[in-house]
Amino acid sequence: MLSYLQSYLGGDALTPGQAGNQLWALIYILVIFAGVSVVVMAMNWIERKALAHMQVRLGPMRVGPHGLLQPIADALKLMLKEDIIPARADSFVFWIAPLIGLLSAFTVYIVIPFGPTQAVTDMNIGILFMLGVSSLSVLGVVMAGWASNSNYPLIGALRSSAQMVSYEVAMGLAVVSAVLMTSVGGIGMYDVAGDGIGTLSMIGIVQAQQAQHVWFLFKFFPLGLIAFFIFAVAMIAETNRAPFDLPEAESELTAGFHTEYSGLRWSLFMLAEYAAMVAVSSIAVTLWLGGWLRPFPNALAGPTWDFIFSLFPGLTFLALGAIGMFGFVRMPAHPFFRVQKLGLGGFAAVLALIGVLLLAIPFAARGHEGTILAGFAAGLSAVYWFIAKVAVFMYLYIWYRATFPRYRFDQLMSVGWKVLLPIALAVLIATAAVGVLIPVIQVWFKGRAG
Partner 1 sequence: MTPIATPFFFYLLAGTMIIGGVLVITRRNAVHSALALIVALLAQAGMYLMLYAPFVAAVQIILYAGGIMVLFLFVIMLVNLERAQKERQFNRIWPVGLLSAFALGLLFVGVYSKGKTLLPSEMMQIPESSNTQEIARYLYGNYMFAFEIASLLLLVAIIGAVVMAKKRI
Partner 2 sequence: MTDPTTTLSRNPLDLDESRTFLDANELVINMGPQHPATHGVLRVILKLDGEKVLGTECVIGYLHRGVEKIAENRTYTMFNPYVDRMDYVAAVSNALGYCEAVEKLLNVEAPPRARYIRSILTELNRIASHQLWLGTHALDIGAMTPLFYTFRDREEILKIFEKYCGARLTTHAFRIGGCQYETYDGFEKDVLNFLQFVAPKIDEYEELLTTNRIWVERTKNIGVISAKDCIALGVTGPVLRASGVKWDLRKAQPYAAYKDFDFEIPIGQNGDTYDRYIVRMAEMRQSLRIIRQAVDAIPEGPIMAKVPKVIKPAVGEIYHSIEAPKGELGYFIVSDGSTQPYRVRVRPPSFVNLQALDLMVRGALVADVIAVIGTLDIVLGEVDR
Span interacting with partner 1, options 140-148, 253-261, 343-351, 373-381, rule CB under 8 A: 140-148
Say if residue 335 is preceded by a cis peptide, omega within 30 of 0: no
Of the chain, the end-to-end C-alpha distance in Å amounts to: 56
Among 33, 221, 404, 445, binds partner 2 (CB under 8 A): 404
Nearest residue (CB) to partner 2, 383 versus 402: 402
**Helix ranges restricted to H, 137-222:** 137-147, 151-182, 202-211
- Least separation in angstroms between residue 144's CB and partner 1 is 11
133 binds partner 1 (CB under 8 A): yes
Nearest residue (CB) to partner 1, 130 versus 378: 130
User: Helix or strand or coil: residue 197?
Assistant: coil
Contacts 24+ apart (CB under 8 A), 46-50: 46/394, 46/395, 46/398, 47/398, 47/401, 50/395, 50/398, 50/399, 50/402
Dist. CA 291–CA 285, nearest whole Å: 5
Q: Contact letters (x/-) for partner 1, 56-95, by CB under 8 A?
A: ----------------------------------x-xx--
Nearest Cα residue to 69 out of 316, 385, 301, 343: 343
Among 229, 305, 409, 417, binds partner 2 (CB under 8 A): 409
Among 188, 243, 343, 439, binds partner 2 (CB under 8 A): 243
- Least separation in angstroms between residue 409's CB and partner 1 is 15
Say if residue 222 is preceded by a cis peptide, omega within 30 of 0: yes
Span interacting with partner 2, options 26-34, 123-131, 179-187, 398-406, rule CB under 8 A: 398-406
DSSP class of residue 149 equals T
Residues that bind partner 1 (rule: CB under 8 A) add up to a total of 31
20 binds partner 1 (CB under 8 A): yes
- Least separation in angstroms between residue 52's CB and partner 2 is 9
Nearest Cα residue to 178 out of 208, 143, 156: 208
Among 195, 197, 250, 440, binds partner 2 (CB under 8 A): 250
DSSP class of residue 65 equals G
125 binds partner 1 (CB under 8 A): yes
- Overall size of the chain counted in residues: 450
Q: Which does 80 bind (CB under 5 to 8 A by kind): partner 1, partner 2, none?
A: none
CB atoms within 10 A of CB 329: 11
- Rg of the chain over Cα atoms, rounded to whole angstroms, equals 24
- Beta carbons within 8 Å of 103's beta carbon, 6+ residues apart: 136
Nearest residue (CB) to partner 2, 190 versus 395: 395
Dist. CA 368–CA 35, nearest whole Å: 30
Among 338, 368, 408, 418, binds partner 2 (CB under 8 A): 408
Q: Which does 3 bind (CB under 5 to 8 A by kind): partner 1, partner 2, none?
A: none
13 binds partner 1 (CB under 8 A): no
Nearest residue (CB) to partner 1, 20 versus 222: 20
411 binds partner 2 (CB under 8 A): yes
Contact 166, 417 (CB under 8 A): yes
For the CA atoms of 132, 113, 217, 302, what is the dihedral angle to 10 degrees? -170
Dist. CA 416–CA 48, nearest whole Å: 29
Contact 215, 209 (CB under 8 A): yes
418 binds partner 2 (CB under 8 A): no
Q: How far is CA 293 from CA 17, 382, 385, 388, in A?
A: 22, 6, 7, 11
Among 1, 2, 56, 449, binds partner 2 (CB under 8 A): 56
Span interacting with partner 1, options 119-127, 212-220, 393-401, 416-424, rule CB under 8 A: 119-127
154 binds partner 1 (CB under 8 A): yes
Residues that bind partner 2 (CB under 8 A): 54-57, 242-243, 245-246, 249-253, 401-411
Residues that bind partner 1 (CB under 8 A): 18, 20, 90, 92-93, 96, 123-125, 128-129, 131-133, 135-136, 138-139, 142-143, 145-146, 154, 158, 161-162, 165, 168, 172, 197, 200
